[in-house]
């Protein structure tokens, strides 16, 4: 059967700063969907990553379905009411528009979706990251889909020998979706040329060239393009099908052992290493380090298994310790140079205002 996976994620309020939404808030979102959504969907799961709540739906209505999007929007609205009642910090933070207009894209929440013919067994990974932006997935996707050092299946499995097609979006373009389609392995230098710039170019979709099937879908929202000012980082979600024509689960996961530096961290204005964490875990230290969680599932006739928490394994404790050290290394230099984002990316208006003020005091010496 044809199945659609949709994940919609929003920050609708959190406890003690941008830390964690808490069980009561998640229960409100879950109850809303159980109450109002059962006819529309096959199955769903609620989880949190840092201060963000994600709803993973399995259904048969395709991508961009107005009713599915409205269900998520209304569940987040219901959650926001409770967040306000409880006095949670940033209640309704990511719901940037007042009225729902057919699709949550461009309204604040992050969305990743894919539709496919279900295989007899259909394993997939659901990633959610907090205190960072969609470009955080660029390097792990490049390594997991283009590099035999991380994906041994590229040389061991004939099904992957022909490689993958990447759709890459220019997220600085605001007039519409500006996208380029590039093939791996033929064009990997071009793919790398774009993906090195995590703030401008973001992987949107990846397809298997062997079967033409969808492998990856990433949320590409940039909140400051919607709100015109800082409202929070664009904490991204991603779906990845694995095994068979696609990389094995471990080939997709292995690049996360790197803890590569990404944009985000405190006030969305710094660089920090991406730490793989368990689902439903919180944020600490310097509103970071940026974190990523991953739940592995199988979907069968639309029904989801229980999640297997991919980063809940002793191996990742070792990685987390290394990433903590990398976080300390970059925090050692405070606001200086690469520790803070470049002027164009600074999410807070304060520095921009300050610069305007100081600029007037400059004198040019001839
Ligand atoms: P496939 O079943 O996709 O061939 O996966 C082999 C495997 O388990 C690699 O780790
Ligand atoms: P969130 O985008 O996760 O809400 O974090 C915002 C922030 O400013 C953290 O310091
Ligand atoms: Mg927040
Ligand atoms: Mg967040």
> Does 258 qualify as catalytic in the annotation?
no
State phi, psi for 240 to the nearest 5 degrees: -135, 120
pLDDT at 98: 86
Length of the chain, in residues: 366
Q: In the 8-state DSSP scheme, what is residue 168? A: E
How many other CB atoms are there within 10 angstroms of residue 211's CB atom? Answer: 14
Name the one residue in this structure whose structure tokens are 């929007």. 73
Q: Is residue 223 a contact partner of residue 94, using CB atoms and an 8 Å limit?
A: yes
Asked if residue 11 has its Cβ within 6 Å of ligand 2, the reply is yes
Q: What is the dihedral of CA 161, 258, 263, 202, to 10 degrees?
A: 0
What b-and-e string marks burial along 302-332, b requiring 16 or more CB atoms within 10 Å of the CB? Answer: bebeebebbbbeeebeebbeebeebbeebbe
> Does 11 qualify as catalytic in the annotation?
yes
C-alpha–C-alpha distance, residues 60 and 58, integer Å: 7
pLDDT at 172: 87
Q: How far does the chain reach from its first CA to its final CA, in angstroms?
A: 75
pTM of the model: 0.96
- Residues whose CB falls within 8 Å of the CB of residue 276, separated by 6 or more in sequence, listed in order: 256, 257, 259, 291, 292, 293, 294, 311, 316, 319, 320, 323
pLDDT at 23: 98
C-alpha–C-alpha distance, residues 352 and 89, integer Å: 25
- For residue 57, give the 3-state DSSP assignment: strand
Digit-coded pLDDT (tens) for 93-129: 999 988 888 889 889 999 999 999 999 999 999 999 9
What number of CA atoms fall less than 13 Å from residue 71's CA on the CB side?
A: 28
Ligand 1 closest atom vs CA 153:
9
C-alpha–C-alpha distance, residues 232 and 264, integer Å: 10
Given the residues 77, 190, 209, 230, the one annotated as active site: 230
C-alpha–C-alpha distance, residues 138 and 259, integer Å: 13
pLDDT at 216: 98
**162 phi-psi bin (left φ>0, alpha ψ -120 to 50, beta other):** alpha
pLDDT at 222: 73
- Mutating to test ligand 1, I would choose from 157, 243, 253 the residue with most ligand atoms within 8 A of its C-beta, which is 243
Q: Find, among 340, 331, 342, the residue nearest to 289 by Cα.
A: 331
Q: Give domain limits for the chain.
A: 2-355
Ligand 2 atom 4: residue of nearest CA? 232
Digit-coded pLDDT (tens) for 251-282: 999 999 999 999 999 999 999 999 999 999 99
Name the one residue in this structure whose structure tokens are 């639309």. 302
pLDDT at 231: 64
Question: In angstroms, what is the span from residue 232 Cα to ligand 3's centroid?
Answer: 6
Show the low-confidence residues of the chain (pLDDT under 50): none
pLDDT at 347: 66
Ligand nearest to the CA of 270: 2
Tokens encoding 34: 């159980």
Given the residues 26, 105, 233, 326, the one annotated as active site: 233
Ligand 2 atom 9: residue of nearest CA? 267
């Amino acid at each position: 059967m044809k199945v659609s996976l949709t994940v919609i994620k929003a920050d609708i309020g959190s406890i003690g700063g941008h830390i964690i939404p808490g069980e009561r808030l998640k229960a409100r979102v879950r109850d809303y969907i159980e109450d109002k959504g059962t006819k529309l969907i096959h199955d769903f799961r609620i989880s949190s990553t840092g201060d963000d709540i994600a709803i993973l739906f399995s259904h048969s209505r395709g991508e961009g379905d107005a009713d599915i999007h409205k269900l998520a929007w209304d569940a987040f609205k219901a959650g926001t009411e409770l967040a306000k009642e409880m006095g949670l910090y940033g209640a309704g933070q990511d719901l940037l528009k007042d009225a729902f207009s057919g699709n949550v894209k461009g309204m604040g929440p992050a969305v990743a979706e894919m539709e496919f013919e279900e295989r007899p067994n259909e394993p997939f990974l659901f990633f959610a990251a907090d205190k960072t932006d969609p470009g955080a997935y660029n390097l792990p996707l490049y390594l997991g889909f283009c590099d035999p050092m991380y994906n041994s299946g590229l040389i061991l499995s004939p099904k992957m020998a022909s490689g993958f097609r990447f759709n890459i979006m220019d997220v600085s373009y605001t007039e519409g979706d500006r996208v380029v389609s590039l093939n791996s392995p033929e064009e990997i230098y071009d793919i790398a040329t774009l993906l090195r710039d995590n703030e401008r170019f973001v992987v949107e979709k990846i397809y298997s060239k062997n079967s033409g099937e969808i492998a990856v879908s990433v949320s590409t929202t940039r909140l400051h393009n919607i709100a015109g000012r800082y409202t929070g980082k664009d904490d991204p979600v991603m779906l990845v099908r694995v095994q068979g024509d696609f990389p094995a689960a471990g080939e997709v996961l292995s690049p996360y052992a790197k803890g590569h530096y990404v944009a985000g961290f405190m006030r969305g204005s710094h660089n920090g290493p991406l730490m793989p964490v368990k689902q439903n875990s919180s944020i600490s230290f310097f509103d970071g380090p940026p974190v990523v969680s991953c739940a592995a599932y199988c979907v069968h006739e639309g029904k989801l298994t229980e999640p297997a928490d991919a980063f809940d394994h002793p191996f990742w404790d070792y990685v987390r310790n290394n990433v903590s050290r990398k976080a300390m290394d970059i925090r050692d230099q405070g606001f200086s140079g690469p520790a803070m984002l470049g002027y164009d990316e600074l999410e807070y208006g304060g520095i921009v205002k300050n610069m305007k003020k100081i600029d007037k005091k400059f004198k040019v010496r001839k």
